[in-house]
Amino acid sequence: MNQPIATASTRLFGLDPELEAALPAFPRADLSDPVAAREGLARLAAAAPAPDTTGLEIEERTVAADAQVPVRVRIYRPHGARGAILWLRGGGFVMGDLDTEHPWAVRIAQGSGAVVISVGYRRAPEHPYPAALDDTCAALAWAAGHAAELGIDPARIAIGGHGAGATLAAAAALRARDRQGPRIRFQLLNQPALDDRQQTWSARHFTATPFMTREKAAASWRHYLGPRTDADPVPPYAAPARATDLRDLPAAHIATAQFDPNRDEAIEYAVRLLRAGVPVDLHQWAGTFHGSQAAVSAAVSWRQIDELGAVLRRALA
């Protein structure tokens, strides 16, 4: 039986009932005003209960990407951790900061037992590509170069994130491969946006799905890529699905949401990685939508959160 296309006027067949009940709490899917979007996310984050940080040492550092651009990182260190993950927030390249990402960083650290290095990368549209990627790679190089000081094994450093953060993680893995380092052990890509062209089935049909619509995805790419012409092609370090060679990349776990315009590009990327000889776990979560893990009242959200921690724990063992 064909599933109905998700539009503004149709109900999503198969949406998890607990997530459906939580829909009114999600902000409107709109990035037309980046400042307003940031303020809305900050208000939601501030209103949420503070996470329990028992068992974690938390500190902030500043990484000098170059003389002009310091990058803030917040480090979450569980007792006895030897592996680490460079963690990159979602938010369509536009929203979020170290504070809004704090609950997720805590959950990843506690669930995996790994050191989490949350990166405060620069936001678009004020800082378009490659600013966020440059910040990500600067933080990665810093973590690898300061592994002894951080108490981590330099051979056990992963990279990952949600949404746009997962995009940056995939892009950093490509750049690190091409520049012969730093070594990345594993990619943890949760609901990544990988293709600015938006030509997949899900991108064309999920035009008004909760929280992430086709227009919101397009606006995210416009903000991130900045003004471009046909003579100025989008590089694969910006949109990893454009990469023609996926060989010799780190093993990956890719998680997708059923009702997400970005779903099929992530699935296709996973298949291409497999064909290139890269070990991949792919988990398509039925009944979910992009960002729905924020609804922690839903049992499926906790299954997703727990899986991210467990996957990372195994990858860094």
For residue 189, what are the CA distances in angstroms to 122, 160, 240?
20, 5, 12
Q: Which residues of the chain have pLDDT under 70?
A: 1-11, 65-68
pLDDT score, position 49: 87
pLDDT score, position 65: 59
Q: With contact defined as beta carbons under 8 Å apart, do 119 and 136 qualify?
A: yes
pLDDT score, position 1: 34
CB neighbour list of residue 24: distance below 8 Å, 6 or more residues apart: none
pLDDT score, position 2: 37
Q: Which two tokens stand for residue 156?
A: 């056990």
Q: What are phi and psi of 309, to 5 degrees?
A: -65, -45
CA 191 from centroid of its chain's CA atoms: 7
| DSSP annotation of 118 | E
pLDDT score, position 244: 97
Strand partners, 62: 72
Q: Which two tokens stand for residue 35?
A: 């400042």
For residue 272, what are the CA distances in angstroms to 84, 101, 227, 228?
26, 30, 29, 27
pLDDT score, position 6: 40
- Where along the chain do its domains lie? 17-227+236-315
CB neighbour list of residue 282: distance below 8 Å, 6 or more residues apart: 253, 254, 255, 256, 267, 270
pLDDT score, position 13: 83
Residue 6: count other Cβ atoms within 10 Å of its Cβ: 24
Residue 237: count other Cβ atoms within 10 Å of its Cβ: 20
Question: Interior CA angle at 153 toward 147 and 156, to 5°?
Answer: 115
Distance from C-alpha of 289 to C-alpha of 20, rounded to nearest angstrom: 10
Q: Which two tokens stand for residue 231?
A: 């003579």
CA 26 from centroid of its chain's CA atoms: 18
pLDDT score, position 230: 74
Which fold does the domain 17-227+236-315 belong to in CATH? Answer: Rossmann fold (3.40.50)
| DSSP annotation of 104 | H
Where would I find the beta strands (DSSP E) of the chain?
A: 56-64, 70-78, 84-88, 115-120, 157-162, 186-190, 251-259, 280-289
pLDDT score, position 38: 94
